[in-house]
Structure 1
Amino acid sequence: MPIELKMPALSPTMEEGTLARWLVKEGDSVSSGDLIAEIETDKATMEFEAVDEGVISQILVAEGTDGVKVGTVIAMIQGEDEGAAPAKAAAPAPVAAKTEAPTAPTPPPPVAAPAPAALVAASGDRIKASPLARRIAADKGVDLAGLTGTGPNGRIVKADVEGAKSGAAAPAPTATASVTTAPAAVPDFGIPHEVVKLSNMRKTIARRLTESKQQVPHIYLTVDVRLDALLKLRGELNASLESRGVKLSVNDMLIKALALALIQVPKCNVSFAGDTMLQYSRADISVAVSVPTGLITPIIVDAANKSLSTISTEMSALAAKAKDGKLQPHEFQGGTASISNMGMMGIKQFEAVINPPQAMIMAIGAGEKRPYVVDDALAIATVMSATGSFDHRAIDGADGAEMMKVFKELVEKPLGLVA
């Protein structure tokens, strides 16, 4: 019998995702391990592999569809030894879907692709169309009511809209636009603008950081750190590592310094858990990386016990994967503390928002020449400001201050980073 291809859970916390792109079409043969789709989660766009052999007999969820629940049947695979006849037997499914389903008997899995119908109901009309088709229709001025859908269950898809003539009745695009326009609380005041759809990542960032500021009492502690010795050591290490193709960044060295500081002050290497607290014996550092769709934090695991060259190599690889949207869940989920460096953009100082369940994040500002007292005399030194944000439910101010002091000492006397 046909094999159901279901929306996968690509991470332990994933409940739904966006079917970003199909890499196959109906009639294509697939084997175990073949890439068949790209799924956008709240953190990255990940490739989905086939685990069975056969022919894609039916695609039930169009690419571009948001909010597809984990476990939803998104396509059907016909086993290669079953012949073509069984595949046609699935054809009545769309007919069953057209009768209002709440009172109908439980349909076979192909009909259970419910996400598109739910989206249509939310729009206030009964037209079945993918989000991508709706956007294209709005741009072209096409009335969706006049189109016949060729997608699953008679759903209007991209190809249907692109083949239609523009200039159809205007009311439909207007109604469609109302789904994606800004809420009434944000008037546009007649200013020219475009409505930009939020990615799953941006939605998650907005939700989690709002929760963080509402639920986590932040305390901020700032130290000025002299960088001259660290910069000198970095130059010497890079000269010796050049033949190995390794080039240390300042951030690589700060990752190591933060990890060592957390191990030396374990009261800051924790997570608040209501009536209990998790005390970590390993420092896994989440490193903020900016990507086109938002921000993601790949993790350097056990950074305190890794060499600077290993941290540099791992960080370069993780940053590249992050920018390509190819990070695997274990590479960005977890971490005991975070570091966010905006110094390369000239930001002198800032206060970062804690990413729960972590209890601290280090915000790194730009290293710059400043007047500085060196050996009781005023001199010019390269100085940066580092600000630690701490969850005050789990970390007392005195403990946060001790950790910041250790971090400052490690950076100013950097031989401890290579010992």
Structure 2
Amino acid sequence: MKVLVVGKGGREHAIAWKVKESSLVKEVFIAPGNIGMENIGKLVNISEENIEALANFAQDNKIDLTIVGPESVLALGIVNEFEKRGLKIFGPTKEAAKIESSKDFAKKLMKKYKIPTGEYETFDNLEAAKAYVEIKGAPIVIKEDGLKAGKGVTVALKKDDAIEALEIAFSIPGNKVVIEEYLDGFEFSIIALTNGETVIPLEIAQDHKRAFDNDEGPNTGGMGVYSPVDKIDSKIVDETLEKILKPMAEGMKEDGIPFKGFLFGGIMLTKDGVKTIEFNARFGDPEAEGILPRLKSDFVKAILDLLDEKKVELQWDERYTVAVVMASENYPKSSTVGSEIEIPQNLDSLVFHMGTRLNNNKLETAGGRVLSVIAYGNTLEEAKNKAYFDVNKIKCKKLFFRNDIGSKMCYNNENK
């Protein structure tokens, strides 16, 4: 069969890599992909947001399955267009993707279906939002309503920080802000495959969102991840499924907007049990780079069986993975383009490209997050040491990385 992967980042590199391993797949296409993926499949020069052209390509080339990576494309309605043409695609419709594209929408669903989450209010003007912060005090969390690529969130430990975040948010015309309770506890990511009814959890990971060591600096799209997470045992996973993921899937179906695709929950394990920080409508990035290398089962077969309502059982590599993101200097404020990268040929780690390009036969930076370096280990410490051993072999004057990805479970703040 032929599979099309839509997207160009590290998540899509990991998805395409895993798709290629499938015994069912003869050809892999990636649109638009990046230079690091050219040995996996055929790169298709179509922008990921050009939905009509992608659908035309899938029709013309008799693509059997399309897997969508980026949330922005889902929010534009790529699934609606493909399904209108009778094309098989794995991802939520535009309407269902609103669980990520509108934080207010997601919060209303959680409230309606009694899914545990922090107390919140939504505001469309600055003065009312400020008054709410004055009443509630700090710490408090400020979230801009729309798609922000993992950013647009301020965990304000002081009221002044919250007010400043509100002023920045409302300087954007038409912006809405969700202000919610600060959740204290242990954060983890859970991603499930779902057809709108059946919910199949993947292995747990923990993302590190802050830019710098010791969980300092601004929020990013993710600076690294490790999997599995020892603190999150099967009992906690079951609680998360029964209280959060399954009720959301059931509620969305009941509301006439069934969710199909990768259902992502950002979860906080609090003293009162699991609570939802956020829902995303796609595989996480860098979670995909940490989780998919541990999947032993045929990824494409699992998706097809799920869509056909057949039983799906997943097998996992018991080893740990640590994925370290190498990002452009000044990320997330700005990106570096055109700085040469040298990646040795003899690395033991996997290297997934997030933001690279080829220029005069030289590999260069071309984005905020540039590379994801992933290593296996029989222990978390071994995986971490192997990943950083290879990270330090990669040469580029304009890249930085955190030095503490996978440092054992020391992250206790809401950092989404």
Same fold (TM over 0.5): no
TM-score, L = length of structure 2? 0.24
Higher helix share: 1
The structure whose RCO (Cα within 8 Å, separation 6+) is larger is 2
Structure 1 or 2: larger strand share? 2
Bigger radius of gyration, 1 or 2? 1
